[in-house]
Amino acid sequence: MKIAFIGLGNMGGGMAANLVRAGHQVNAFDLSETALATAAENGCTVFTDAQSVMAGVDAVVSMLPNGGIVDAFYHDNVFRVAPPEAILLDCSTIDVGTAKSVAKYAAIAGHEMVDAPVSGGIAAANAGTLTFMVGGSDSAFARAEPILAAMGKAVIHAGESGAGQAAKICNNMLLGASMVATCEAFKLAEKLGLDLQTFYDISSKASGQNWSMTSYCPVPGVGPASPADNDYQGGFATALMLKDLKLAMEAAALAGAETPMGERATELYQAFADAGQGALDFSAIIETLD
Ligand code: NAD
């Protein structure tokens, strides 16, 4: 298949390389020369203009920073020049409203489209082990699934357009709130004189068990290897967690949903980012708790 890949940054770079490994011809476009140079090393054919990259392609995959950029790129370029039979896959994390709107205009331009945000960070993008949450029609999903499978370990149909983004932000709101709660529990355990490894051994087998504790423990030296063991470098940046929490808060306000824990987690991550710690892994929020 001939695939145009738009946005070859931290995530998109590895994803495009996996499409090449799966035998696809990948046309790459990014505003960054560095990203394009790496894409060329990984076997992509690079383009320096946003439209010729889409000539004769069977699919367009995008992995861009936010909804405004996705909306503009699809209206200014994809809907103008991509062959109508090309399936469109936006893997960026964006707001539900923009995802639905772009899919609506895609249909007007004759395209099938899915929103397919990912769970898993840069390591999973490089290893081809992402989880994709997909919004779109049954027919669009059937066409998108094999392309996504070349970049991930799981591809799940969440529902109609926008459902992938909805699943992503609900999941990440839960992750943000559960990470803060896990950090609080360890801090309180420490203040109450418990040995933290002992508390982990108990809680990881009791009803407080959760992913933030047993797969990504915020306490250095406790649980499996995690960013906490590496001074909170790498992993999932606080700035990205904050982005997803804000998308969740925006969606909750529009839907009239009460999300008090999500709101509090958003405030805490906002304060942490404002203190200049946006690049640290999100589990580093434990350092702000007394
Ligand atoms: P990034 O900033 O590293 O990459 C984005 C790329 O898009 C950059 O190379 C940039 O030059 C390019 N770009 C920006 N505007 C463009 C345009 N108009 N045309 C062409 N290229 C353009 O970001 P990332 O970490 O790769 O994240 C991409 C998306 O994936 C985001 O929506 C993010 O929320 C989501 N995501 C990231 C992670 C992660 O751990 N990094 C995990 C899950 C989801």
Distances (CA, A) of 239 to 45, 46, 191, 231, 283: 31, 29, 29, 17, 12
Q: Are residues 6 and 41 in the same domain?
A: yes
What integer pLDDT is reported at residue 64 of this predicted model? 97
What integer pLDDT is reported at residue 161 of this predicted model? 98
Q: Are residues 84 and 204 in the same domain?
A: no
What integer pLDDT is reported at residue 109 of this predicted model? 97
Give the end of a domain, one of 106, 130, 159. Answer: 159
Give the ligand 1 atom nearest the CA of 92.
32
Q: Are residues 145 and 210 in the same domain?
A: no
The parts of the chain modelled with pLDDT lower than 70 are none
pLDDT tens string 213-250: 999 999 999 999 999 999 999 889 999 999 999 999 99
What integer pLDDT is reported at residue 134 of this predicted model? 98
Q: Where residue 133 sits, what CATH number does that domain have?
A: 3.40.50.720
Domain that holds residue 236: 166-288
Q: Are residues 149 and 174 in the same domain?
A: no
Give the end of a domain, one of 106, 132, 159. Answer: 159
What integer pLDDT is reported at residue 123 of this predicted model? 87
Q: Which residues line ligand 1 (CB under 6 A)?
A: 6-12, 29-32, 35, 63-65, 69, 73, 92-93, 118, 121-122, 236, 240, 243
What integer pLDDT is reported at residue 34 of this predicted model? 96
Q: Where residue 218 sits, what CATH number does that domain have?
A: 1.10.1040.10
Q: Are residues 10 and 153 in the same domain?
A: yes
What integer pLDDT is reported at residue 235 of this predicted model? 87
